Chains A and B, each alone.
Chain A
Amino acid sequence: MPAAPRLHELQQGFAAAVLGRSDDVAAWVDGAGLDPAARLRIYRNAVAATLDAALHDAFPTVHALVGEDFFEAMAARYREQHPSTCGNLQSFGGALPGFIEAIPRARSLGYLADIARLDWLRQLTVLAPDAAPADARAAADAAAVEPRRLHLRLHPSLHLLHSRWAVLTLWQWCQSPGGPAPRPDRGGESVLLWRDGGEVAMAAVDPATFHCIEVLAAGGDVAAAHRAAMDLDAAFDLQPCLRDLLVQGLVVAFNNQEGCT
């Protein structure tokens, strides 16, 4: 009988068994009336069930579109290739959109990866930090600042997704499927997500508005954001875009205030 394993070696062996890679650690498991490997399988199944449940929670729309069998098979392969790296399950699943893109069977469902991105961004939106919107007086002060010197700090819950597919329309259909599903290739959608009163709000916006907000979110000044939007649409009007951001409470600070760079 070899020497008893040190804790590190035992835990590596246990993880290998749980991940389905090797049952060598069974030599150190007391079967006590059962096959030691069967005892290890209890843990293997429990770990798989926990991770699969986390993926179900995070990707409800992907699940609705592909059905249980496909989702389960995908989840099993995903957790093999992308094991959890965090003690907090809310972090598990971030690589699923890219993983879906690489699945040969999912190629015919080109929009599925973007649906996964939308699901994941919805979760990030729910969990994002809180921040109080800038007040009217701060906005009035900011109006006097030259646009090329004006930066906006946007709400941490604001997320953006540009897709060549009709992801938001498809998402909405999945909430109460009735009638024929919308064609995913009916035109791309640029989606804003943010938190409104504890709920995730989403809106599809025109590409120029999307690009304007994207530049602002990346720290660009208002003049640069305006130019970027005008490059896409010469008729783009900056004022309604900024007004909507303010009205929705999505501007947290201006560069004339502390905390905005």
Chain B
Amino acid sequence: MSFLLPQAQRPIPAAAGIGLRAPHIARVLQERPPVPWFEVHSENYFAAGGPMHAALERIRADYPLSLHGVGLSLGSSDALDVAHLASLRRLVDRYQPALVSDHICWGAIGGIHLNDLLPLPYTAEALALMVSRVQQVQDALGREFLVENVSSYLSFRHADMPESAFVAELVRRSGCGLLLDVNNVYVNSVNHGFDPGEYLRAMPHASVREIHLAGFLRKDRLPVPLLIDSHSRPVADEVWALYREALELCGPQPTLIEWDQDIPELEVLLAEAARAEEELHACRTAIA
């Protein structure tokens, strides 16, 4: 029945969207580029009013929207910040996004926020906490929530499972959806020395609702390889290859190009999205 709905109310298509950032908003409003969907950072819209909302209301009228949070700090041993959750709830009610997500990480402790996506120890204790938090969020929002695997630069000695098992089990036990960040899988495979294909195969493919792609930075002059998930460059060839593998496993999924540092002209993002679209097309053709 989706052909009866206005464009913006349709679910997010299995097509390549882009992360909408402040420098591009004016052009998007003016030119209405043929982007299949946009994603914004939820916290940028937590304020009650102002020009950011005026712009997003107009964009939302014409494009499907995804809300992607960076500040819920799901895995913190502090209690979940109910004010933050209430702000997210208000935003979800206002914009009726097709997807809502945050990360498998923590960012605050003892009331101090570090405003970063910090790594969890992959332990039974952290898993149980994450499961209960995701359930709490899904109950509060009354809808499916997506969690995203994060990139990390260290692991903990007392971890008792690999990251992939932690992610898969979290999704299975909490009943949430998975936002599979393929760049983060690749970055972590280099940083922690695992096989990224094996990681992808361990994911709960039927629960994948969205895929993220972004560019990383390579740190030189270190005794071991280290990649930084900088969102500052084009998607790397290795990540495109891994994306192809992910599509083979999960089928075509809504895919997002993220770029947050040294943000280039909109055309660069559109070109990256076009490349993702080619991969999606190849995947659809292979299935058909």
Judged by a CB distance under 8 angstroms, whether A8 is at the interface is yes
Are B48 and A127 in contact, with the CB atoms below 8 A?
yes
Assess A90 versus B47: contact at CB under 8 Å? Given A28-B156, A30-B156, A34-B222: yes
Minimum Cβ distance to chain B for residue A200 (Å): 10
The interface bits of chain B over 17-51 (1 if a CB of A lies within 8 angstroms of the residue's CB, else 0) are: 00000000000000000000000000110111111
Which of A11, A89, A199 makes the CB contact (< 8 A) with B76?
A: A11
> Which of B60-68, B119-127, B141-149, B269-277 is near enough to bind chain A?
B119-127
By a CB distance below 8 angstroms, the chain B residues around A54 are 115
Residue in A closest to B223 when the chains form the complex, CB atoms: A33
Judged by a CB distance under 8 angstroms, whether B54 is at the interface is yes
Which of B51, B112, B116, B156 makes the CB contact (< 8 A) with A83?
A: B112
Assess A32 versus B48: contact at CB under 8 Å? Given A12-B110, A43-B153, A88-B71: no
Assess A156 versus B49: contact at CB under 8 Å? Given A34-B223, A87-B43: yes
Are A15 and B114 in contact, with the CB atoms below 8 A?
yes
Q: For chain A, which range describes its interface: under 10, 10 to 19, 20 to 34, or 35 or more residues?
A: 35 or more
Minimum Cβ distance to chain A for residue B138 (Å): 18
Residue in A closest to B48 when the chains form the complex, CB atoms: A129
Residue in B closest to A127 when the chains form the complex, CB atoms: B47
By a CB distance below 8 angstroms, the chain B residues around A51 are 115
Bound form: Cα–Cα A90–B53 in Å: 15
Residue in B closest to A125 when the chains form the complex, CB atoms: B50
Minimum Cβ distance to chain B for residue A249 (Å): 14
Are A47 and B116 in contact, with the CB atoms below 8 A?
yes
Judged by a CB distance under 8 angstroms, whether B228 is at the interface is yes
Are B156 and A7 in contact, with the CB atoms below 8 A?
no
The interface bits of chain A over 1-43 (1 if a CB of B lies within 8 angstroms of the residue's CB, else 0) are: 0001111101110110011000000001110111010011011
Assess A29 versus B157: contact at CB under 8 Å? Given A7-B126, A129-B49: yes
Judged by a CB distance under 8 angstroms, whether A50 is at the interface is yes
Count A/B pairs, Cβ under 8 Å: 146
By a CB distance below 8 angstroms, the chain B residues around A7 are 75, 77, 120-121, 123, 125-126, 129
By a CB distance below 8 angstroms, the chain B residues around A86 are 71, 84, 113
Number of chain B residues close to chain A: CB under 8 A: 52
Are A11 and B106 in contact, with the CB atoms below 8 A?
yes
By a CB distance below 8 angstroms, the chain B residues around A10 are 121, 156
By a CB distance below 8 angstroms, the chain A residues around B120 are 7
Are A87 and B81 in contact, with the CB atoms below 8 A?
yes
Minimum Cβ distance to chain B for residue A77 (Å): 16
The interface bits of chain A over 68-109 (1 if a CB of B lies within 8 angstroms of the residue's CB, else 0) are: 000000000000000111111110100000000000000000
Are A32 and B112 in contact, with the CB atoms below 8 A?
no
Are B46 and A88 in contact, with the CB atoms below 8 A?
yes
Q: Give the contacts of A148-176 with B (CB-CB under 8 A).
A: 156-157
Tell which of B54, B77, B87 has the most Cβ of chain A within 10 Å.
B77
Minimum Cβ distance to chain A for residue B23 (Å): 13
Assess A4 versus B112: contact at CB under 8 Å? Given A10-B121, A87-B43, A88-B71: no
Bound form: Cα–Cα A43–B85 in Å: 25
Judged by a CB distance under 8 angstroms, whether A195 is at the interface is yes
A-B contact pairs, 8 of them (CB 8 A): A4-B157, A7-B77, A10-B156, A18-B114, A18-B116, A19-B114, A86-B71, A157-B49
Given contacts A7-B77, A195-B50, 4 further A-B contacts (CB under 8 A): A7-B75, A32-B155, A34-B222, A50-B116
